[in-house]
Amino acid sequence: MTDPYVQLHRFLDRPLDIGNGRIPSRLVLAPMSKLGHLAFRQLLDEFGGCGLMFSEMCGDRAVSLGHRHMQSGFRFRVEETGHLVCQLFGSDPAVMAAAARRVAEAGFFGVDLNFGCAVKALCRRGCGAALLQTPELAAKIVTSVRRATALPLFVKFRIGWQDQASPAVELARRFEAAGADALTFHPRVAPDRRTRPPKWAYIGRVKEAVGIPVFGNGNVFSASDGAKMIAQTGCDGIALGRMAVAKPWIFAHWTIGQPPPPDVHRHTAFRLLRLIEQHYDPSTALRRFNKFAAYFSVNFRFGHRFYSRICRARSLADIRETLERFFSRQPQIVDRPNISLMR
CA trace torsion 170, 134, 33, 60 (10° rounding)? 120
What is the spatial distance between Cα 55 and Cα 49, in angstroms, rounded to a whole number?
17
What is the spatial distance between Cα 65 and Cα 101, in angstroms, rounded to a whole number?
11
- Of the CA atoms within 13 Å of residue 302, those in its CB half-sphere come to 7
Q: Tell whether the torsion through CA atoms of 201, 203, 206 and 211 is positive or negative.
A: negative
Q: Tell whether the torsion through CA atoms of 174, 180, 184 and 190 is positive or negative.
A: negative
Of 117, 123, 127, 235, the catalytic one is 117
Kindly provide the residue ranges of all beta strands, DSSP E only, lying in 90-204, ordered along the sequence. 110-115, 153-160, 182-189
Contact 335, 299 (CB under 8 A): no
Is 127 annotated in the active site? no
Integer angstrom CA distances of residue 253 from 23, 47, 50: 17, 9, 10
Contact 263, 52 (CB under 8 A): no
What residues are labeled active site? 117
